[in-house]
Amino acid sequence: MKKTAIYFICVLILSAACTSPETDGTQFIDSTAFYKKDTVPVIIADTLVKQPAAASLSYNSDDKTNLLLFEKVSLGMSSAQVQSKLTYFSQLHAEDLNEQLGAKGFQESVLDIHFLKYKGKLEFNFKNDTLYRYSIVFTESNEQKGKKLYGQILSFYSDYLGPFQPVNIEEDNHYAQLHMWYLNPDYVVAVYNLNTGNITIAAQNNKPGQ
């Protein structure tokens, strides 16, 4: 009887050991099999929304010739040499129709042109029959359009000649913006007058502001 009691005690101990929490027969599932992938959406580069680039300057072949006039006409040329390079050239007269300036050798040739769909003036300035400056002037009276157009002109020349250099304007002329490119030894200059809407493109042999 005593042996039987001991036998049952041993059976109970073994049974309790087999049903411990670590070995109670429950089947553990490997959680790595259910690892969820990162659900952050992958952005494909081609689908990124891009800001539209500002419209570039619109011009025809005649406009381009005038925009790049410094490639055909060099400062220092005589009026006869300039005329030989261009199909258009008006007769010389005293600068600003001022006979006193004319007597000092200052003369000009002024021509009405169509430039970038605007009516404009092309002016060549000579001293003692030597070209020292030419300019194209036209007007956009709408300020918003004028600013946009001037920005497109700056972009055109920056693509062609490299980054521009801003030029400081005298305090009483703060309504004007002036930028330049150095051609060695000459300068290409762009000016926007916010007050009048005049836009000027010029080539000259002296540095602006001096």
Q: Give DSSP secondary structure letters for 69-117.
A: GGGT--TT--HHHHHHH-S--PPPEEGGG-HHHHHTTEEEEEEEEEETT
In a domain, 162, yes or no: yes
Q: Mean pLDDT, to the nearest integer, of 57-79?
A: 96
pLDDT at 67 exceeding the cut of 50: yes
* Host domain of residue 98: 61-204
Average pLDDT over residues 39-60: 53
Dihedral sign computed on CA atoms, order 154, 160, 165, 170:
negative
pLDDT band at 174 (very low <50, low <70, confident <90, very high): low
In this prediction, residues 28-38 reach a mean pLDDT of 41
With respect to residue 36, please indicate whether it lies within any of the assigned structural domains. Answer: no
Q: Is residue 166 part of a domain?
A: yes
**Residue 171: inside a domain:** yes
**Residue 128 covered by a domain:** yes
Across residues 23-47, what is the average pLDDT?
39
pLDDT at residue 210 tops 70: no
The tens digit of pLDDT for each residue in 87-133 reads 888 999 999 999 999 999 999 999 999 999 999 999 999 999 999 99
Are the CB atoms for 150 and 166 separated by under 8 Å? no
The answer to whether residue 169 is domain-embedded is: yes
Q: Look over the chain and give the mean of its residue pLDDT values, rounded to a whole number.
A: 80
Token pair belonging to 57 = 């300057």
Asked whether residue 41 is assigned to any structural domain, the reply reads: no
Assess if residue 46 is contained within a domain: no
For the segment 132-158, the average pLDDT, to the nearest whole number, is 97
Could you write out the three-class secondary structure of 150-177?
HHHHHHHHHHHHCCCEECCCCHHHCCEE
CATH of the domain at 166: 3.40.1000
Residue 43 or residue 77, greater confidence: 77
Give CA–CA dist 20/205, Å, rounded. Answer: 100
Note the pLDDT of residue 101: 95
| Confidence (pLDDT) at 2 | 47
Tell me how many domains the chain contains.
Answer: 1
Give the pLDDT of residue 172: 56
Give percent above pLDDT 90 in the chain.
63
Confidence of residue 24 (pLDDT cuts 50, 70, 90): very low
φ/ψ bin of 41: left (φ > 0), alpha (ψ from -120 to 50), beta (otherwise) = beta
